[in-house]
Amino acid sequence: MKRTAMIGHLSPTHAGQTVTLQGWVNRRRDLGGLIFVELRDRSGMIQVQVEPDSPAFAQADRLRAEYVAEIEGMYQLRPESQRKGGVADYEVIASRVKVLNTAKTPPFELEKGAEVAEDIRLKYRYLDLRRPEMQRALMLRSRATAAVTAFLDGEGFVAVETPMLTRSTPEGARDFLVPSRLNPGEFYALPQSPQLFKQLLMIAGFDRYYQLARCFRDEDLRADRQPDFTQLDMEMSFVEQEDVLNLQERLLAHVFQTVLDVALPLPFPRLSYRDAMDRYGSDKPDLRFGMEFADVTTLFAGGEFAAFASAEAVKVLAAPELTRKQIDELERVAKQNGAKGLAWAKRSGEGFTGGISKFLTAQAASLLEQTGVQDGGILLFAAGEWKRAVTALGAVRLSLRDLFGLASAGPQFHVSWVTDFPQLEYDEDSATWTYMHHPFTAPHPDDVPLFGTERQSEIRAQAYDLVLNGFEIGGGSIRIHDPAVQEQMFAAISFTPEEARRQFGFFLDALESGTPPHGGIAWGFDRLVMVMSGATSIREVIAFPKNNRGADLMAQAPSFISTAQLEEVGLELAQE
């Protein structure tokens, strides 16, 4: 017998028809001599009723949780007293039941899966993945993959698979290494990203490239990192920043429309890096809600409150009423993020009480006007070196978001661009300049004359990040194609020609072989899908993720291997 429909595709138009369904027993109950079976497939769930005199009864009586069954029966309305509207008003009266397979009693109840310890869920991932939430998330991911492919194929992008076994570049993040048996003592590295290869494809004349690329970084795993992850990687030739941004906007809008039926308003708002930091204290600001900082540096400059008087920046945000305990918690957050403290004051009528209120008398009217703080509300101040102050207050802003559920009042999805990142960063520890994005990112043409001057910190990169609900879901840049600019860039980061050649040898040869103007972007595909599906961890949108020790608890990887396997690749375990 073939199934006549998937459960989720049944609708009132099937009423009165005999249907054949196949799926898993979600639950089986006995009531008044009848057997009730909830049958589940990836598309939905339905109640099946088996009457005691039905020829299906004997087989139905064998059913237990997670058995696989084929059920034929009449699709019909439930008794009027049980109807609530919608497809759940329909049930199937079984005329035939066939047990297609049995199942051991599951180690956890699937319906309570979300509460089960994650280690257990990962060990029995094949059961965990049966939960409708997990299936929905992975099916959403699949639809996003297909939508991306269709859009980019239609726009003339060429899908190219770049090497998985490539060269180790110890200068970046840590590589995963793969010993070569045919070349004893030598190693491949798994790719951290296809960055050089996608630029090579532009040099090779492919014009537009994309790939859903598996990437690998051997980092100490934080809560929401995976040793391997998926990038939607793209590159375009003969373009300027505006072309890349425009295409990306249309692509993301297409994905949201196709997958979620959500229309993203175009164009996406843009903030410069400076603006984003200055107003929201983050280079990936969550703009689903406001709570923008006011700049009150000049208001306090040279004043009597010593902590603010000579600060490079004094930033303030207006919070709702807070308890003393909440303020203490927010101060802890501010300190964790680099601030010396978190000054506060509570609005009371036209003045302030508590905290630093005694220093605010002269500024009260201005503060009320600039911040619009409500009566009873709290002003929170961060002061000091600009980047440190805004970063700390940015973290406080996100804590307030979580505390008051501020994001839920805004749009479900808010997308924006952050642009004009600095080209160079000064590293205090090594007292050297380094690249912020990567050494092939092109500077803004207007800023090229600043290389090697005292103002080189002001050079803006033609780099851009795509920000969704406070997550960086994409980042890219226009690349340098002019050898003269490349030389200036290497000089700025104190790379000698020899050093550059040692690190990037063959790529520099390629760059001199007829490189078109080009630029691109890579999306963190796991994170995008996570936000789209409403999940809170990328592990919820990856079928078989690793835990935070890098272990696959189901397949039990990594594992010890045989001495023979080690010998074949010419290696020994190091002695303690």
Write out the binding residues for a copy of itself, residues 84-123 only, by CB under 8 A: 100-104, 106
Q: Candidates 283-291, 316-324, 470-478, 506-514: pick the segment binding a copy of itself (CB under 8 A).
A: 506-514
Please list the residues that pair with 523 across neighbouring strands: 232, 474
Give the one residue of 18, 76, 145, 370 binding a copy of itself; rule: CB under 8 A.
145
Q: Please report, as residue ranges, which positions from 185 to 244 form the binding site for a copy of itself (by CB under 8 A).
A: 185-190, 196-197, 200-201, 203-207, 212, 214, 216, 218, 220-221, 227-228, 230, 237-238
What are the binding residues? 171, 217-219, 226, 437, 472, 479, 524-527
Residue 492 CB burial class (10 angstroms; 0-12, 13-18, ≥19): buried
Q: Candidates 74-82, 296-304, 327-335, 509-517: pick the segment binding a copy of itself (CB under 8 A).
A: 509-517
Residue 22 binding a copy of itself, by CB under 8 A: yes
Q: Please report, as residue ranges, which positions from 384 to 423 form the binding site for a copy of itself (by CB under 8 A).
A: none
Q: Candidates 130-138, 360-368, 382-390, 421-429: pick the segment binding a copy of itself (CB under 8 A).
A: 130-138
What are the binding residues for L-aspartate? 171, 217, 437, 479
> Taking the complex as a whole, how short is the minimal distance between the CB of residue 450 and a copy of itself, in angstroms?
23
Q: Candidates 147-155, 322-330, 435-443, 495-503: pick the segment binding a copy of itself (CB under 8 A).
A: 147-155
Question: Is the CB of 426 or the CB of 506 nearer to a copy of itself?
Answer: 506
What are the binding residues for ATP? 217-219, 226, 472, 524-527
Question: Is the CB of 394 or the CB of 520 nearer to a copy of itself?
Answer: 520
CA–CA distance, 519 with 235 (Å, rounded to integer): 6
Q: Please report, as residue ranges, which positions from 330 to 389 form the binding site for a copy of itself (by CB under 8 A).
A: none
Q: Please report, as residue ranges, which positions from 25 to 84 form the binding site for a copy of itself (by CB under 8 A).
A: 40-42, 66-68, 70
> Taking the complex as a whole, how short is the minimal distance between the CB of residue 260 and a copy of itself, in angstroms?
16
Contacts with a copy of itself by CB under 8 A: the residue count is 125
Q: Residue 453 half-sphere exposure, CB side, CA atoms within 13 Å?
A: 9
Q: Candidates 152-160, 274-282, 301-309, 405-413: pick the segment binding a copy of itself (CB under 8 A).
A: 152-160
Give the one residue of 58, 77, 114, 150 binding a copy of itself; rule: CB under 8 A.
150
Residues ≥6 apart with Cβ < 8 Å to 501: 508
Q: How far is CA 41 from CA 3, 112, 169, 278, 534, in A?
A: 11, 18, 46, 50, 22
Q: How far is CA 406 from CA 45, 403, 469, in A?
A: 34, 8, 12
Q: Candidates 89-97, 248-256, 441-449, 539-547: pick the segment binding a copy of itself (CB under 8 A).
A: 539-547
Closest CA to 507 of 43, 53, 195: 195
Answer left, alpha or beta for residue 278, where phi above 0 means left and psi between -120 and 50 means alpha: alpha
Give the one residue of 363, 391, 515, 533 binding a copy of itself; rule: CB under 8 A.
515
Instruction: Indicate the helix (H) or strand (E) that contains 19.
Output: strand 18-31
Closest CA to 286 of 468, 411, 417, 526: 468
CA–CA distance, 433 with 450 (Å, rounded to integer): 14
> Taking the complex as a whole, how short is the minimal distance between the CB of residue 244 and a copy of itself, in angstroms?
13
Site map 241..280 versus a copy of itself, x via CB under 8 A: ----------------------------------------
Question: Is the CB of 350 or the CB of 572 nearer to a copy of itself?
Answer: 572
CA–CA distance, 392 with 385 (Å, rounded to integer): 11
Question: Is the CB of 418 or the CB of 553 nearer to a copy of itself?
Answer: 553
CA–CA distance, 497 with 455 (Å, rounded to integer): 24
3-class DSSP assignment, residue 159: strand
Question: Is the CB of 2 or the CB of 84 nearer to a copy of itself?
Answer: 2
Give the one residue of 55, 265, 445, 514 binding a copy of itself; rule: CB under 8 A.
514
> Taking the complex as a whole, how short is the minimal distance between the CB of residue 452 and a copy of itself, in angstroms?
23
Question: Is the CB of 3 or the CB of 388 nearer to a copy of itself?
Answer: 3
Q: Candidates 155-163, 360-368, 423-431, 465-473: pick the segment binding a copy of itself (CB under 8 A).
A: 155-163
Instruction: Indicate the helix (H) or strand (E) that contains 464.
Output: strand 463-468
Q: Candidates 114-122, 307-315, 390-398, 546-554: pick the segment binding a copy of itself (CB under 8 A).
A: 546-554
Counting other chains too, the contacts that 75-80 makes at CB distance below 8 Å and 24 or more residues apart are 75/10, 75/14, 75/15, 75/16, 75/17, 75/18, 75/19, 76/15, 76/16, 77/15, 78/47
CA–CA distance, 567 with 177 (Å, rounded to integer): 16
Q: How far is CA 135 from CA 131, 269, 532, in A?
A: 6, 33, 14
Q: Please report, as residue ranges, which positions from 156 to 195 form the binding site for a copy of itself (by CB under 8 A).
A: 156-168, 170, 174-183, 185-190
> Taking the complex as a whole, how short is the minimal distance between the CB of residue 207 and a copy of itself, in angstroms?
5
> Taking the complex as a whole, how short is the minimal distance between the CB of residue 532 and a copy of itself, in angstroms?
15
CA–CA distance, 438 with 148 (Å, rounded to integer): 26
3-class DSSP assignment, residue 151: helix
Q: What is the DSSP secondary-structure string of 303-340? A: SS-HHHHT-SEEEEEEE----HHHHHHHHHHHHHTT-S
Give the one residue of 141, 288, 401, 414 binding a copy of itself; rule: CB under 8 A.
141
Crossing angle (nearest 10°) for helices 195-203 and 497-511? 50
The residue type found at 19 is V
Question: Is the CB of 338 or the CB of 517 nearer to a copy of itself?
Answer: 517
